[in-house]
Amino acid sequence: MRIALADPPMTAILALTRVPGFTGPIEEGQSSGMAGGPIRQGGQHRVSRGTSCSVRLGRSFKASPPLLLATLVLISGCRGPQSTFADAGLEASSVAALFWWMLGGAVLIWFFVIGLSVYATKAHPGAHSDKTGLRLIIWGGCVFPTVVLTILLVFGLQMMPDFRAPANGPRIAISGERFWWRVFYDSPAEPGVARSLPHEGIESANEIWLPVGRRTELLLGSPDVIHSFWVPAIAGKTDTIPGRINRLVVEPTREGLYNGVCAEFCGTAHAQMAFRVRVVSQEDYETYVAAQGQPAAVLDHPGLDAFLANGCGACHTVRGTEADGRVGPDLTHVASRETIGAGILAMNEANLARFISSTEHVKPGVQMPSFGVLPDEEIAAIAAWLGSLQ
Amino acid sequence: MQLDNRTRDNLWTLISTPAVWGVHFLFCYFVAAYVCAPNTRIFEPIGGVRVAIALATLPALAFCAFAGIRATREWRAFRGDLPFDAPTAEDRERFLEFSTMLLAALSFVAIVFTALPALLVQDCR
Amino acid sequence: MSQAANAPDVPPASTRDQEDPKVREEQEERLRKVWASPPGWRYWSDTNNTTVGVWYTATSFAFMLFAGVLALMVRTQLSVPENDFLTADLYNQAYTLHGTVMMFLFAVPIFEAVSIILLPQLLGARDLPFPRLSAFGFWCFLIGGIFVCGSIFFGQAPTSGWFMYPPLTTQERFTPGYGADIWLLGLSFIEVASIAAAVELIVGVLKCRPPGMRLNLMPLYAWYILVVATMILFAFPPLIAGDILFELERLFNWPFFDPERGGDPLLWQHLFWIFGHPEVYIIFLPSIALLAMIIPTFAQRPILGYSWIVLAAVGTGFISFGLWVHHMYTTGLPTISLGFFSAASEAVAIPTGVQIFVFLATCLTGRIIYSVPMLFISGALAIFVLGGLTGVMVAIVPFDWQVHDTYFIVAHLHYVIIGGVLFPLVAGLYYYWPILSDRRLSDRLGKIAFWLMIVGFNVGFFPMHYSGMIGMPRRIWTYPANLGLELPNLISTVGAFIFAAGILIIVFDVLRPRGKEPLAKRNIWNAGTLEWVADVPGEDWGIRSVPIVSSRYPIWDQPNFIDDIDKGRFYMPDAEEMKRETMVTSVLDAQPLQCLRGPGPSFVPMCAAFFLGASFIAATFHYWTAMFAALLFCVVTIIHWLWNATSVIPEKEEKDVGRGLSLPIYIAGPHSVSWWAMFITMLGDATAFVGLVFGYIYFFTIHTDFPPPDADGPGLLWPLVSLAFFAASWLLTLVSHRLLRRGRVSAARLLMAAGAATSVAAAAALLWGPWVTDLQPTVHVYPATVWLLAIWTAIHALVGTVMLGYCLARSLAGKLTPKYDIDLANVALYWHFAAGTGLVTVAVIALFPLAN
């Protein structure tokens, strides 16, 4: 059972329009990076202004350039890669529609109550009898809220089972770890309490690919503390809790690159525990997962020697090499990802080198120690090698 | 005025209906948790739980209706006149009856609300 | 006694001619002397409700300002993306302390503080029934608050949010240092103070009303206080239970929240939010209560819909206990479970709406007088209604899945709390200031402050709805550029500073010297309720004579009311024996029952709070010896306090309180205030115990086999032996009480001694069970839970031993006699609860596994 939401009334009220020209949240090859601390990134792309305005507040603003500018800047995020209005998943879209309906109702009620209170202070004493007042309490305070709340409650309740209906797409296990995301494609995990995610399947990190139009089952767990997995553009959030495997079913409706974040406070670097989600066609998805299952592409590189010599392999796995650490992200195909450091820096050699040399500075609280003591050449070599691991 | 055949209201009778709401609520929560909390077999229908909740809901609603109607009858019978602010035991009684009626109505609605999920959700998913 | 002996022999009140000014002058002189604060440094030993209430209020406002500064630091850090004003660690300390301090050290205590000042005034009482308990609560609050706040200056403040979710907080590897312990122990200590205040306020409302103030005539503030204090009684103990589990895990590695050993981090969330959601209403209802007092005054009419307010207060009080999981919608709980909580979360909006419409209807049918308090009330309404509407939205689960833990929620909760708590409080400040300090606050400054606050607040918090919707999570110390978050955050920061400027103006208005200004008029707003009887300048005695009330608005409706009070024509116009006295009445109809003598100023409550605080602080830093020493001192101090200042046998049985009425000075049993206090305290205690049992049942529901099949329980024999001893102690206590009342003192003493012995045996047998079966609490959550229940119950048996021993000593000292038996009556009441605890514990740890 699903009650479909028609175009919300707010569409009319706020003259909702989509900017023509806007195709996807972020264009290919771009990234909205994030640096910790005072360091500003060089060479980082800016998000295309194509992501701008989807809501226009009416003609009056157009007369005033500063106001218009302010409005534009303010609403530039509303269809951004991290916005709940981005309309890229079935759940997110229904919830956004629900939001506009509720907002419309809330605005009407608020103006009614405030109007009434203004009137009440101006009304001539004696103009209204106690009986009128009691009627106001009964109808305004009891009957009306009860009716509205009943409708809203039934509506909200019947939405939920659909969101959690069985999946028909792949099954991906995602482990929230301090402060990054471990990913297993083709996972055998099952939801439940008093269990933890099996480390099986094709491993990746901090970037999740999803096939468009399929209901993909995400199984969420954590080996350390509670995190929360959230891709606002696609669906609501679900916590990753040690000792539990939670289930979230997502159905992306639009290809593109979207931001995900950790939404539950998990420690010092909580703010910098992001990731990317790329929604692609079914074929691209299959090609990608198959590629992720392969060993590393470059096995003969001075950077690999430096990597192993400095003990990086104690924490990181690079399949096809001796590095088989289980603590940090799997780096076998690190260069195929959009970002490094869990969604905080754009993937390129310069940023790799920076992350290795001043880890704690870029991402305070990170579990990886800074390797700034290494000679610059070694860091550059490691960065060059990692940057080649497509 | 004779009050012999009537309930003597006090603070405990006043809170009886929301207390019933509380018991009903906890019952629903525990029954559902007992079956669904392990979070396995999430698509198996939970008919038993839903029937149990229905069976708990009916007497809970009946009690609220009973308490509400009783209180209404009593304050009406004594030409109950708002706002019940005379300094007499009579008016204190009327006030408690009227408030009991309001709380019974609120508890009734709240119990219906609590039962709605059992009506609309068919499994543990 | 010595004071009474020195006092001149004053004839009974009924025989005095109140119309004789000389008689009145003598009476006033005596009253003034009895109720005066002690001079010099002994001022700090005062226990009078007005003095303690003012300390309490000032302290919690100071904590609010401190937390406000933290909020400004947070806002400054977030004003631009990738800012480095604060480090990540300091930011986390700042936001954690901001939430913790605002909730635990401002929002809850301010209600208690204001009520300690106002409630006796509203009820025409001289004081609350347990003034030293109020003072004890205040000193606990002050010590605990300074301890928690001070931690940030040593970089040791907790960093994990005011909700402290494990396992982040329970395991040293994630949160090294003392931060989490400071949070837990510091706040547990303050929770004790909150519960103490709740006991005081419930008994105050039920038993200390003036004669004639029947339930249907009670001021609405008193109704709200009754509801809120009862909510505290049921909401705080689960948190204390949670704190116990938490600290046992953090200090001794008992695995309640560790999934690897059968625990579950979600149990903490349940216990925390069973406290945390009612807590929102615990802070909101008292502020609405202020509106219910202020609005009728400025509408110049009685409230329209008195019963509706009572409905709303009581209804909210109940339903707010069914909302807790709406803070846990995203934890992956089954849909049907979420549904129940969504339903209750929507249902609670109904009584909230009723209150708003009662106020609107009162305004509509009255003649509104514009004033600064009304200005703040209109602001409160505008802000709170918006917060309430977003609250209805987030109660819908799918919507909450999107906005949970985002800035949308930050906006929502600040709209609710600032609109529903802070604005009404400021309105109350402007309204009640003339009672507190005899002069008015400035209207001009008030208006400026109002406009700064309302503009600043909306500029600050409205954009947060938007930041949340476009993807800004909460509790992040930095955020990236290019997501559209820059402008809303910058606007929010600007708004926050404007808002702070408004608060600063109020602080200035309160603190500025106003020596030359004329005194305010008495009852300056022409209000109708009892608190406005207070004369200007105020007197310490609370009320000149305890009036007979026959209206909800006695000043408006009862002719010559203030004059009758002033001339002492009502009850208790005198302090003949130079004792602090107040009247105790019956619950339903407020018929006079007793002339209650309260204790005077004393440093004992301060010492008790100091030792209790010392033991908590020592535990934080693992100084176990110091902890036990401080705890021992605390117990000794409390026994000293009880021994000398409670259930004192009076020099005469009855006392003439005027108008031909004689009241007993000493009553025991269900009519006495101390019996009620014991009953209420034990309800809270039982709630904490239920919280622990909830833990056991919770593990039973989430595990398919609990207790684990291979685990040995505590066996059957020893728990049952313990149960037998519990039953014996209970029976011995009851019979001993009965014998004492019949005058068989020696037999009663014998049974008290026997009861003390059997309760030690009960404790020993209960602990012996898990000991002989060698249950290891660190191995798995099952043995840990069994041990915890056994220890909790054994402690109750041992407390019972101490109580019986205390009664025996009192009896031997001649302070407990067949006629004056409060101590034993209350201990008998305690034993009902203790025996119940024993029964449930044995049933859970020994019998329940058999049923599996």
pLDDT tens, C333-373? 999 999 999 999 999 999 999 999 999 999 999 999 999 99
pLDDT at C297: 96
C541 within 8 A of C534, measured Cβ to Cβ: no
pLDDT at A68: 63
pLDDT at C706: 87
| Gap between the Cα atoms of C331 and C325, Å rounded | 9
pLDDT at B5: 54
A3 and chain C: CB distance < 8 Å anywhere?
no
Which phi and psi angles does A317 have, rounded to 5°? -100, 135
Segment 304-343 of chain A within 8 Å of chain C by CB: none
Task: Select the residue from C360, C376, C454 to test the A interface by mutation, using most A Cβ atoms within 10 A.
Answer: C360
| Gap between the Cα atoms of C317 and B18, Å rounded | 9
Q: Which helix (H) or strand (E) holds C119?
A: helix C108-122
C61 within 8 A of C110, measured Cβ to Cβ: yes
Instruction: Tell me the nearest-neighbour CA distance from B63 into chain C, angstroms.
Output: 16
| Gap between the Cα atoms of C513 and C517, Å rounded | 9
| Gap between the Cα atoms of A307 and C817, Å rounded | 85
Subunits with 3+ C-beta pairs closer than 8 A to B: A, C
How many contacts (CB atoms, under 8 Å) link B and C?
146
Q: Do B39 and A166 touch (CB under 8 A)?
A: no
Q: Which helix (H) or strand (E) holds A180?
A: strand A180-185
Segment 165-194 of chain A within 8 Å of chain C by CB: 178, 191, 193-194
Record the tokens describing residue C272, joined without a space.
Answer: 């925390």
How many contacts (CB atoms, under 8 Å) link A and B?
40
Q: Do A191 and B38 touch (CB under 8 A)?
A: no
Secondary structure (3-state) at C619? helix
Q: Do A158 and B120 touch (CB under 8 A)?
A: yes
pLDDT at B74: 85
Instruction: Provide the phi-psi class of A30: left if phi over 0, else alpha when psi is between -120 and 50, else beta.
Output: beta
Secondary structure (3-state) at C380? helix
How, if at all, do strands A216-221 and A339-340 pair? Answer: unpaired
Instruction: Name chain C contacts of B91, Cβ cutoff 8 Å.
Output: 214, 216
- The closest CB to that of A239, out of C81, C174, C331, belongs to C331
- The closest CB to that of B37, out of C305, C314, C702, belongs to C702
Instruction: Provide the phi-psi class of A237: left if phi over 0, else alpha when psi is between -120 and 50, else beta.
Output: beta
A111 and chain C: CB distance < 8 Å anywhere?
no
How many contacts (CB atoms, under 8 Å) link A and C?
317
Record the tokens describing residue C192, joined without a space.
Answer: 């004790």
Q: Do B120 and A161 touch (CB under 8 A)?
A: yes
Q: Give the DSSP letter of residue C12.
A: P
How does DSSP assign B63-93, residue by residue? HHHHHHHHHHHHHHHTT--TT--SSSHHHHH
C159 within 8 A of C100, measured Cβ to Cβ: no
C46 within 8 A of C599, measured Cβ to Cβ: no
- The closest CB to that of A137, out of C305, C397, C473, belongs to C305
B44 and chain C: CB distance < 8 Å anywhere?
no
C852 and chain B: CB distance < 8 Å anywhere?
no
| Gap between the Cα atoms of B84 and B89, Å rounded | 10
**What ipTM is given for this predicted complex?**
0.95
Low-confidence stretches of chain C (pLDDT < 70) are: 1-8, 852
- The closest CB to that of C265, out of A103, A123, A243, belongs to A243
- The closest CB to that of C314, out of B14, B37, B82, belongs to B14
- The closest CB to that of C361, out of A82, A125, A136, belongs to A136
* CA-to-CA dists, residue C96 to A261, C91, C284, C406, angstroms: 20, 8, 21, 16
Record the tokens describing residue C623, joined without a space.
Answer: 């100084």
Subunits with 3+ C-beta pairs closer than 8 A to A: B, C
Instruction: Tell me the nearest-neighbour CA distance from A183 into chain B, angstroms.
Output: 22
Q: Do A191 and B40 touch (CB under 8 A)?
A: yes
Q: B14-44 pLDDT, tens per residue? A: 999 999 999 999 999 999 998 998 888 889 9
pLDDT at A9: 40
C738 and chain A: CB distance < 8 Å anywhere?
no
Instruction: Name chain B contacts of A134, Cβ cutoff 8 Å.
Output: 82
Stated pTM of the model = 0.93
C589 within 8 A of B89, measured Cβ to Cβ: yes
A154 and chain B: CB distance < 8 Å anywhere?
yes
Instruction: Name chain A contacts of B50, Cβ cutoff 8 Å.
Output: none
Instruction: Tell me the nearest-neighbour CA distance from B72 into chain C, angstroms.
Output: 14
Instruction: Name chain B contacts of C318, Cβ cutoff 8 Å.
Output: 15, 18-19, 21-22, 107
Instruction: Name chain B contacts of A194, Cβ cutoff 8 Å.
Output: 38
Task: Select the residue from A138, A154, A240, A246 to test the B interface by mutation, using most B Cβ atoms within 10 A.
Answer: A154
C845 within 8 A of C716, measured Cβ to Cβ: no
pLDDT at C150: 94
Q: A196-255 pLDDT, tens per residue? A: 999 999 999 999 999 999 999 999 999 999 999 999 999 999 999 999 999 999 999 999
Query: C404, exposed or middle or buried, with CB in 10 Å at 0-12, 13-18, 19+?
Result: buried
B30 and chain C: CB distance < 8 Å anywhere?
yes
Start-to-end Cα distance in chain A = 45
| Gap between the Cα atoms of A318 and A298, Å rounded | 10
Instruction: Tell me the nearest-neighbour CA distance from C689 into chain B, angstroms.
Output: 17
Record the tokens describing residue C225, joined without a space.
Answer: 């206080």
Segment 525-554 of chain C within 8 Å of chain B by CB: 549-552
Q: Would you give the distance in Å from CA A140 to the centre of its chain?
A: 40
Q: Do A74 and C484 touch (CB under 8 A)?
A: yes
Instruction: Tell me the nearest-neighbour CA distance from A149 into chain B, angstroms.
Output: 9
Instruction: Name chain C contacts of A72, Cβ cutoff 8 Å.
Output: none
Ranges of H-type helices in A280-366: 282-292, 302-309, 349-357, 359-362
C382 and chain B: CB distance < 8 Å anywhere?
no
A65 within 8 A of A380, measured Cβ to Cβ: no
Give C584's strand partners. C594
Instruction: Name chain B contacts of C353, Cβ cutoff 8 Å.
Output: none
- The closest CB to that of A157, out of B105, B116, B125, belongs to B116
CATH fold for domain C688-851: Four Helix Bundle (Hemerythrin (Met), subunit A) (1.20.120)
Q: Which helix (H) or strand (E) holds C585?
A: strand C580-585
Q: Pick the closest to residue C716 from C770, C784, C779 (CA basis).
A: C770
How does DSSP assign C83-137, residue by residue? --SS-HHHHHHHHHHHHHIIIIIIIHHHHHHHHHHHHHHHTT-SS-S-HHHHHHH
pLDDT at A174: 97
How, if at all, do strands A235-240 and A192-193 pair? Answer: unpaired
**What's the count of helices (H) and strands (E) in chain B, helices before strands?**
4, 0
pLDDT, tens digit only, all 390 positions of chain A: 333 444 444 333 333 333 333 333 443 333 443 433 333 333 333 333 333 333 333 333 344 556 666 565 555 567 789 999 998 999 999 999 999 999 999 999 999 999 999 999 888 877 889 999 999 999 999 999 999 999 999 999 999 999 999 999 999 999 999 999 999 999 999 999 888 999 999 999 999 999 999 999 999 999 999 999 999 999 999 999 999 999 999 999 999 999 999 999 999 999 999 999 999 999 999 999 999 999 999 899 999 999 999 999 999 999 999 999 999 999 999 999 999 999 999 999 999 999 999 999 999 999 999 999 999 999 999 999 999 999
Q: Do A271 and C470 touch (CB under 8 A)?
A: no
A163 and chain B: CB distance < 8 Å anywhere?
no
Instruction: Tell me the nearest-neighbour CA distance from A126 into chain B, angstroms.
Output: 18
- The closest CB to that of A157, out of B42, B105, B120, belongs to B120
| Gap between the Cα atoms of A356 and A341, Å rounded | 10
A350 within 8 A of A363, measured Cβ to Cβ: no
Q: Do A193 and B109 touch (CB under 8 A)?
A: no
